[in-house]
Amino acid sequence: MSLDLSYRSEQEELARSVDGLCRRCGTGAGFTDSDPLPEQYWRGLAELGVLGLGTAAGGGGALEIAACMEQLGAHGAPGPLVGTFTAGALLDPSEMEPISGGRQLASVGQPPLLPWAAQAGVFVEIDSSEAWLSRPVSAPEPVDTTAGEPWGRTELERLRPLGDATTAVALGQTAAAAYLAGAAQNLVEIASQYAKDRVQFNRPIATFQAISHPLASCSVAVSASRILARAAACALDNRDPDAPAAAARARLSATASATAAAYQAHQTFGAIGFTIEGPVAHVSLRIRQLSLQPVPQASARAHVLESLGI
């Protein structure tokens, strides 16, 4: 069986629109500081149809989501993206409509610590492979987060079972993997460019193999993660029974390669990458935060082991 992992032209076109939107909205370091989710940007994603991808009403599937998430990751773009796509695979069309339209935010995760809880209108609780539409028993207590996202702590009251969440979680894992891979790819690219531009000891630092080899290693790992994310998306779109394991593989690979790329980007940029104004910090902070959502690493590992019959 041949597997074509390149995006089709309409997927690439959608991804280009997302890229354009991020550029217009100046997605980047400023987001962490001021408004964690500028309305122009989130509405823009809704108008492009991104927030409804994977739902019956919105059309498109996992590959469309992966294509968009690679772009969003490259910009270090904010928002409850993974939660939105996970919710899209679980909620009724009427419940999903305001979320796809960008008028309501979805908080998807395991209580008590919930992403975007401070601004969310819809709460979906995921416990191992089951999901519930839920509501907070009290107003979420806001917490600070490294990436400046308005998370909150609250207990949830379950309103309605949403059934088996395996596929929805796999879609979320795939979306997260694509975002992380896109973020890592961008970091490797800007770090490589900086290594060519930055002169120390009378030569571009890229001519030192202590700089260039780790970047090359990162590039290998990131390429693998991108391929795994696309493979997982294909498996989901083809309703392949291996899809949950494929999504877990993609997510584990992307978490590892994105974390490594963030460290190497910091190392290449030196102190400038460590400042809040620099080109690395906001992406690196988001990578750390996103790599932990919406389900822990351990459950992804369990999926991979299951697929091996272990």
Partner 1 sequence: MPSDDDFRRRVRSFLAQHGPAEGWLRDEHGRPPPDDAPNEVRVARARRCLSLLFEAGLGAISWPQRYGGQGLSNRHQVIFNEEAAGYALPLDIFIIGVGMCAPTVLAHGTEQQRTRHLPPLLRGTEIWCQLFSEPQAGSDLAGVGCRAEPDGDGWSVSGQKVWTSGAHNAAYGMLLARSDPGSSRHAGMTMFIVDMSLPGIEIRPLRQMSGVARFNEVFFDSCRLDQDAALGEVGQGWRTAITTLMNERVSIGTSNPAGYGHPASVLAAEARRRGRIDDPAMTDRISQLIIRERITALLGKRVTEALLAGVQPGPEGSLAKLSGTQVSKESAALALEILGSEAVAWDAADSLAASWATVQCSTPGLSIAGGTDEIMRNLLAERILGLPREPKIAARNEPGGNL
Q: Cα separation of 282 and 162, whole Å?
A: 35
For residue 142, state whether it binds partner 1 (rule: CB under 8 A).
Answer: yes
Closer CB to partner 1, 43 or 301, in the complex: 301
DSSP secondary structure code for residue 8 in this structure? P
Of 129, 166, 223, 297, the residue at the interface with partner 1 (CB under 8 A) is 297
Q: Cα separation of 280 and 136, whole Å?
A: 35
Query: How many of the chain's residues bind partner 1 (CB under 8 A)?
Result: 44
For residue 309, state whether it binds partner 1 (rule: CB under 8 A).
Answer: no
Of 62, 120, 131, 147, the residue at the interface with partner 1 (CB under 8 A) is 147
- Per DSSP, the residues of 69-97 read HHHHHHHT--SSHHHHHHHHTTS-HHHHH
For residue 37, state whether it binds partner 1 (rule: CB under 8 A).
Answer: no
CB 18, min distance to partner 1, A: 25
Burial 101-117 (b: 16+ CB within 10 A, else e): ebeebbbbbebebbbbb
Query: Angle, nearest 10°, between helix axes 166-197 and 62-75?
Result: 40
For residue 308, state whether it binds partner 1 (rule: CB under 8 A).
Answer: no
Closer CB to partner 1, 137 or 199, in the complex: 199
Identify which of 153, 38, 160, 57 has the alpha carbon closest to the alpha carbon of residue 107: 153
Q: For partner 1, which stretch binds (CB under 8 A), given 19-27, 50-58, 222-230, 277-285?
A: 277-285
Q: Cα separation of 80 and 10, whole Å?
A: 24
Of 37, 143, 227, 302, the residue at the interface with partner 1 (CB under 8 A) is 143
Contacts of partner 1 in 192-251 (CB under 8 A):
199-203, 207-208, 210-211
